[in-house]
Structure 1
Amino acid sequence: MSPIVAGRFDSVASAEEVARTLFARGFSVWDVSIMSVRPPDEDQAGSNAEGDADERAANVMLAACVGNGLSSVAVDVLRDAGASHLERAQGCWECGQWTDFDPNVHGEPVRDGEGEYWPRPLARESVAEQSTGNEDPGSELEHFVNQKRVEHD
């Protein structure tokens, strides 16, 4: 089972824009999937000709496999893009697709404030207690951020 972060968008174009942002932030094309999903209400209430197009347009899901340690990045990107029903799930991810996806089963909702890259405040924790003047501040900060990212995810 793979860890997955998913959210719903109003259109395929919106989801594709978010996918491009995820690719720019370290995800591969094998980590992101966009799919159309029917709303749960449509099965129970039946469909009406007037509302079908609107309902389908509002139910495009982008799912990202976050086994790569970029869970926080996915949550931040989806949240910033206005994803609705943002959730975490476990699923079978094969060849760039969530193969056991069930639109009637929902994952754990992502809580407010969850997904930030690192705990705050960062600056105070990342400064060495005593400096010798020989440190490379870029590499120390990069090491610290990577360590915090692993601890947070």
Structure 2
Amino acid sequence: MSLIVAGRFTTFAAAQSAARQLFAQGFLEEDVSLFFVNPRGQHAHPAADSLHIVPHALRPTPHPGRGAIVGAVAGAVIGVAICAPLTASFLATVTAAGVGAYVGAMLGGFIQARLNATPRISELARHGVHHEMRDSGVLVAVHVSPENQAKAAQALEDAGSLSIERAVGRWQQGRWADFDPTAAPVPVSDFTHRPA
């Protein structure tokens, strides 16, 4: 694992200027990486098949067909029950059954769809709510050592970084390979105030 210090900038031009300052202070090109971080909620999740991180509105819900079938049967029975005592006409009874089935199917499908769309309290409690803490912007990530991490943080601050974080991650082929945009950033100051 590698030590990484990163600063967030609002534009690529500002991030490139910060990178030039890092190069002028002796940091190598393969130890500096620039990339854009999307706004909160717009990140691709690494485990999208895991239901606990997929927003409820995006989850597949059962088709309301079951409710429509139950509603159609109940509507047809009610239509026949109402119409049969009032008229002896077979055509009127069949028509009442058809209208009852249609209205019942519509109502049953609507009710089933509403039930599927409403998250249950137990489901919300079980999965929790996913909050992202990282702001969007252009991140300048620097592969550092314990000896030069303060120098990198100071260079990013001097370049106008909006926030500076420190992480332990995998640096491969000149970039932060295991960067997770949904993970909360840890400010550099949190490390400088911790006992060693």
Q: Fold conserved (TM > 0.5)?
A: yes
Query: What does residue 4 of structure 2 align with?
Result: 4
Structure 1 unaligned spans of 5+: 45-57, 115-153
Q: Please, which of 156, 161, 181 is the counterpart of residue 83 of structure 1?
A: 161
In 1: Cα distance, 2:170 partner to 2:143 partner: 10
In 1: Cα distance, 2:24 partner to 2:184 partner: 28
The structure with more radius of gyration: 2
In 2: Cα distance, 1:9 partner to 1:70 partner: 21
Q: Name the structure with the higher strand share.
A: 1
Q: CA RMSD in A?
A: 2.0
Q: Alpha-carbon deviation of 1:78?
A: 0.8
Which one-letter code corresponds to 1:69 in the other structure?
A: E
Other structure's SS at 1:103 match: coil
Q: Alpha-carbon deviation of 1:41?
A: 4.3
Q: Alpha-carbon deviation of 1:68?
A: 7.0
Q: Alpha-carbon deviation of 1:7?
A: 1.3
Which one-letter code corresponds to 1:8 in the other structure?
A: R
Which one-letter code corresponds to 1:25 in the other structure?
A: Q
Query: Is 1:22 the equivalent of 2:16?
Result: no
Q: Name the structure with the higher helix share.
A: 2
Name the TM-score, length of structure 1 as normaliser. 0.59
In 2: Cα distance, 1:105 partner to 1:19 partner: 24
In 1: Cα distance, 2:163 partner to 2:184 partner: 9
Give the 5 Å matches for 1:120-131. none
Which one-letter code corresponds to 1:4 in the other structure?
A: I
> 2:21, 2:159 within 8 Å by CA — same for their partners in 1?
no
Query: What does residue 38 of structure 2 align with?
Result: 38
> 2:3, 2:169 within 8 Å by CA — same for their partners in 1?
yes
Query: What does residue 146 of structure 1 align with?
Result: none
Q: Please, which of 97, 100, 108 is the counterpart of residue 186 of structure 2?
A: 108
In 2: Cα distance, 1:68 partner to 1:30 partner: 18
Which one-letter code corresponds to 1:66 in the other structure?
A: V
Query: What does residue 66 of structure 1 align with?
Result: 144
Aligned-residue identity in percent: 44
Name the TM-score, length of structure 2 as normaliser. 0.47
Structure 2 unaligned spans of 5+: 44-54, 56-135
- Report the count of equivalent residues: 100
Which one-letter code corresponds to 2:9 in the other structure?
A: F
Give structure 1 regions of 4+ aligned residues with deviation exceeding 2 angstroms: 41-44
> 1:86, 1:110 within 8 Å by CA — same for their partners in 2?
yes
Q: Please, which of 174, 183, 192 is the counterpart of residue 96 of structure 1?
A: 174
